[in-house]
Structure 1
Amino acid sequence: MTRRTLLYWGMAHCSVIGLAAAAAGSRAATPAGAVVLVVGDSLSAEYGLPRGAGWVALLQQRLQAQMPGVQVVNASISGDTTSGGRSRLPALLKQHRPTHVIIELGGNDALRGLPLKMTADNLRTMTRAAKATGARVLITGMQVPPNYGKRYADDFAAVFGTVAREEQVVLVPFLLAGVADGPDADRLFQPDRIHPTAEAHPRILDNVWPALRPMLAG
């Protein structure tokens, strides 16, 4: 991601579209051989963090405790866009044969000023490719700083929900809810004011978990 602050990213509720939050304390039966593939950018690639401190690594730890047997594959690359994810995904699907795919891409598209239609088309293509293999898909939404203008910010935020609704997949409205828009934003970002600190990543996981857990348990 470029050197632009995330600290003023728009407010977004962190409720999960279409799913009720599940209790995190209980163990649950999971499909044998379940594999969760995460295709993301620096927010998922542990940029500037100690190894194992990012939300994806924390997800693997939580799954080991609550849903033993689920494997997590982190295929995230710092700076990646939806175009990059779209080009990489077919090989990833073939190699890892995931049962669940988390798409965490789009923020860099906006920061680079890429057309919203391109972002939507890429997200849609990735979602359909994953679904074609039988995988269940979760899309994480993103917001842009208000200096992009309210209309653009609203239109960009709507892209994720539109694709999720059209493709009938699960949406986390804002991956950084409670981090970028919370009272502790100054403390929860690294000095570049772009990437969350290790302290913020449990909160990021808590945004994803209520959506992912029922998908796995179901």
Structure 2
Amino acid sequence: MSRKSQDRLGAVLVIGLGRFGSAVAFTLAEQGREVLAVEKDPQLAAQWSHRFTVIEADSTSKEALEQLGAKDFNVAVVGIGSSLEASVLTTANLVEMGIPEIWAKATSRDHGRILEKIGAHRRVFPEFDAGRRVAHMVAGRMIDYIEMEDSFTIVKMRPPFDLRGFTIGEAKVRERYGVNIIGVKSPHEPFEYATAETRIGEDDIIIVSGNVELLDEFAARR
């Protein structure tokens, strides 16, 4: 491996600085990660150039990507959503260059299937995923919602009224509702991993895991 490649092992290549790509690049930079962003639009490139390194280039050109050293990165994020053709061509270029981990934004299920077939390792559906999160959150007392795999989900929520004042063991949460309370955050207190003896207060926030349908039912309880 070249010295240049070794220097960029922890760096991330972000292509496309729309709302999704710029949020990814900005957050990575805030975390102290090295970011190289590629943006075709000169105005967007200029807008973000003071936050992280931005190169104005056309990512649909494999030659352009090779010239900026794209193949030295282990991780690349394709944030292009305005053009299906540009998204697919850019992703295909990265696949051909052998980037080990490619994340690509998809604007539809069909777009996602195309990205998968050409070799993208991870497909991200920002609008769809955000819509699902909001739908689950407005339906009950959920504050945050993370869906993992095979319907396994973790939520942050206010406790149902019939749990307040009881310990998790007394409420028999697992037996009665089929979900697990894995943590509790009381006001002005540090986060606490839950046990059967943990008592739920009316002002607490609880972290609960389980099947998404059971969690929806649990969160809808009064």
- TM interval, short-chain normalised: 0.3 to 0.5
Give the number of the structure with larger relative contact order, counting CA–CA contacts within 8 Å between residues 6 or more apart: 1
* TM-score after normalising by structure 2: 0.40
TM-score (norm 1): 0.40
> Larger Rg: 1 or 2?
2
